[in-house]
Amino acid sequence: MRSRMAAVGIATAALAVAGATGLPATAAPSGASTADATSVYVVVLRPAPLATFAGNASFEATIPRDGARFDARRPAVAAYAARLDRLQEHVVAALGEPDVVYSYTTAIDGFAALLTPAQAQLAATQPAVASVQAARIDRLDGAPSAARSAASSFSLRPPEAAGRGVVIGVVDSGVWPENPSFAAPPLDRSSQRARYPGFTGHCEDSGEQWSPTLCNAKLIAARSYVEGFGADRVSAAEYLSPRDGSGHGSHVAATAAGDAGVDVRIDRQDFGRRTGAAPAAGLAVYKACWAAPDPADDGCSTADVLAAVDQAVHDGVDVLNYAASNPADPSDASDDPLERAFANAAAAGVFVATSAGDHGPQPGTLAHGAPWVTTVAAVAEPTFQGGVRLGSGDEIFGSMASDRPVRSARLVFGGDVPARGATNRAARLCEPGSLDAARVDNAIVLCERGATARVSKSAEVARAGGLAMILANTAPGATSADVHAVPTVHVDARSGAELRHYIATTSRPTASFDPAAVNPSAAAHIAAFSGRGPVIADNGAVLMPDVSAPGTNVVSAVAPPFNFGRLWDIYSGTSMAVPQVAGLAADVVSRHPDWSPAAIKSAIVTTARPIASGAGAFAAGAGAIDPARASDPGIVYDTGPRRWANTPSLSVGSLTGTATVTRHVTGVASAPETYTATVTGLPGVAARVTPSTLRVSPGSTERFRVILSAQRSAHYGDFVTGQLTWSGSLGHVATSPIVVRPESIAAPVDVRGFGAAGEASLRPTAGVTGTMRTRIVGPVAATPAPLLLTPGGFDPAAPDSSAATAQKLFYVPAHAVAARFATDLVAGGDTDLYVYRGQRLIAQASSPQAAEELTVRRPLPGLYTVYINAPELGPGNVVAARFTGWVLSSDSAFVPSGSGLAVNPPQAAVTGGEPVDLQLRWSGLDSSQRWLAAVRYRGSDAITYVTVN
């Protein structure tokens, strides 16, 4: 097996082969079918990886001792790693010796390999395999992009000792080592061992414009991983080495742990002195994110990211920073290999900071919602402001990076001054070559946002001789303070409309710029682009961003190649917020090296300060980080290495009647302290804390319960938020967000029956005392279709029917309740289901079990294609199966009079929190068909699906 590092894995339940999102399949040879094409897949094995292995009768434990880094030099590590390698080799041999890209043994146990769809399906059936997933491409969350929202800047300025002796691992796009933010004397191996005992990472030996001598006492390790992304897909301007081309990784690394007091100038403008969040910490950079020829293809293959995370944990980092996500396929912590690798890293004592994603502001756009990571939202603060004073005397505020005032001058709209041959549209957008220099000379130009990069618009104004630019949004959204070719104020859409009206109705419109102007109504808030919850996990818990940090208009180090030759620039995104939390965590680690990642997360969360968000805790989490308080929280919500139920936030995703949440806190203050509980917020929900007073001594652990009860005034089906605050007698205050969704009904998802006539019990639980009313949608009949399939491959990225794959079409009308598809095996090996709406894969059921069933709730209208595949599991006979598909809508016709399905009684008196006995009865159903219906409950989104065979 070809491997670039020692790596590691997880023990989870057997999982299905995931859809091939991200990487395209490798082109098949001429004459070969797409079933023969290969893609990079990540195969996770069941045994525990090195980071979490607790030992057994044959091998010593390799999990780090409490408070210590993972130590790759221990003899037990080599012995157990050899065992993992042998098992991986056995699985690879069973797959026909495919090309292995990486072997992982530290943060996850498994490998990445080039597999055909048939090989991937075969891998999922191996007894040692926990999951098989196609590698996807994550996108970095933040950049100086025309599509990026922004609004301000912030830089933490902790003491220069912050983070001393701590190593922050940054998995990103590399580093520009010559930047002054990374300046430091050389660091030999003996000095590194003394300063960072147990850290074994090193600098990559070679690569494009790279030498191991580029590492020093600040940049103590650097590696690169490209096999998953593909070196042939990398931009010619990129570097096949740890050297950063895009600047994103350098920006993140310097924000987290850049040197203290570095003088920053951008295009002759002084931006003062900048300091990383933990300037005394060491940086270990792992380049796993790459620039492609087309920026739309930039990103981080999860195969490479897993290799980087695996190596970082193996090296012994204390803190890990990852600021990328996939908007089309948000990570599901229950089966995503990367999220599970983060879980193992945290169990091994590594604090993991991740981004909330840049896919907001819609609800449910949160990335990285697992409890073992600390997910960070982006705060927009009212800095880098500027004012536009019109000739009429009116003043408009916006974002402005330049410190140069602009005297009163002519104000023109770009769309009114097009160059010869240019369209009005191109001129209003100030596209290159679109403005008439004769009419723009010495004028301030109003340009509209869109089509081209923001900075290219100011470049066009400068080319045409313009004095300055006003950049106006044309739709709701944030504004950005970029470094432009001419002084620029970026204003919102409403102000843009006012400016266009002023120009159109004034004979001699003029304007001037004041970079010292401050908008009196501006306040810190969660940036519009920041991803937000809720995310509902399989266990029903509600996950959200943990905290927020400044993430707009952040000044930090970059790489010159992709940044106009600059060493520093202004970036926005949740990527810019994450390293501030990673740096803060490093500072806490340096002060409290014996604290677990859970305790560090708790300290940061419970000391956060409130911030306006517009979406409560789902946007801001506990609030904005407070570095001054995080290292002394008084109490922490700590957990064991594999148990994450004791989170510092409290959530109930479905409150029916009454629920009890139990937590425990551990004293970390220097003296005993008495804490008193108060609960605020939670409209419509009563909360009682018992005991309401805790006496907590240093090192002691005290338990408490929060009893939540829905009231008649509750808005059922809606989330409400509040806070639990423990106030200590010595001045410590620990505040936890609470999120609750009262439900009027909790009902079973599925009820199954048999025969032309019959009955079944239905026991929903009411959330409130009153009357429960039900109604039936359907039933609708479907005739099972017989299938004979010859086992073979199926490529989800290029679906097609074949001897191995049947294809069925379904039309889904508007307002459909559900679409359900199922297979029953008659003879043979296995069947899998893949459901597409148009060309997009929206659902699949591809477990190792022979029969499959999946339900698409509230499907969007359109034409759906279902593929039923008999996967190739080795030598086998033809698979005989039956397929059934239903589309259930409010217009679904009932069966003839005298037959059908009903709930008895259709309405019943209920008591909140108590189950109620209802009876489902059906008669006159054609037993040659299969029937599907749905029970709806008035005033609730709950649905019970009823299947009768």
Q: Residue 248 catalytic?
A: yes
Say if residues 330 and 248 touch (Cβ distance below 8 Å): no
Determine the Cα–Cα distance for residues 614 and 367; give it in Å rounded to an integer. Answer: 19
DSSP string, 438-470: HHHTT-EEEEE-BSB-HHHHHHHHHHTT-SEEE
State yes or no: cis peptide before 633, omega within 30 of 0.
no
Report cis status (omega within 30 of 0) of the bond before 691.
yes
3-class SS of residue 82: helix
- Mark whether 575 is an active-site residue: yes
Local structure of 25: helix, strand or coil:
coil
Tokens of 364: 């449910």
List 109, 138, 248, 744, catalytic entry: 248
Say which DSSP state 435 is in: B
> Is 753 strand, coil or helix?
strand
- The answer to whether the CB of 574 falls within 8 A of the CB of 142 is yes
Q: State how far the Cα of 794 lies from the Cα of 804, in Å rounded to an integer.
A: 8
Q: Maximum CA pair distance of the chain?
A: 89
Note if 512 is an active site residue: no
Q: Are 323 and 253 in contact (CB under 8 A)?
A: no
87 token code pair: 């098992």
The secondary structure element, H or E, covering residue 500 is: helix 493-505
SS3 of 580, please? helix
Considering 109, 138, 172, 304, which one is annotated as catalytic? 172
Residue 122 and residue 284 in contact, taking contact as beta carbons nearer than 8 Å:
no
**Spatial CA neighbour of 20 closest among 944, 665, 846, 907:** 846
Distance CA 301, CA 24 (A): 11
Q: Which residue has the tokens 């000792």?
A: 161
How far lies 436's CA from each of 263, 421, 446, 487, in Å? Answer: 39, 10, 14, 19
Phi-psi domain of 282 (left: phi exceeds 0; alpha: psi -120 through 50; beta: other):
beta
Residues 553, 570: contact at Cβ < 8 Å?
Answer: yes
Catalytic residue among 575, 602, 613, 649: 575
∠ Cα 489 493 496 (to 5°): 60
Rounded Cα–Cα distance for residues 419 and 118 (Å): 58
Query: Would the CA dihedral through 459, 465, 468, 473 be positive or negative?
Result: negative
Q: Catalytic residue positions?
A: 172, 248, 575
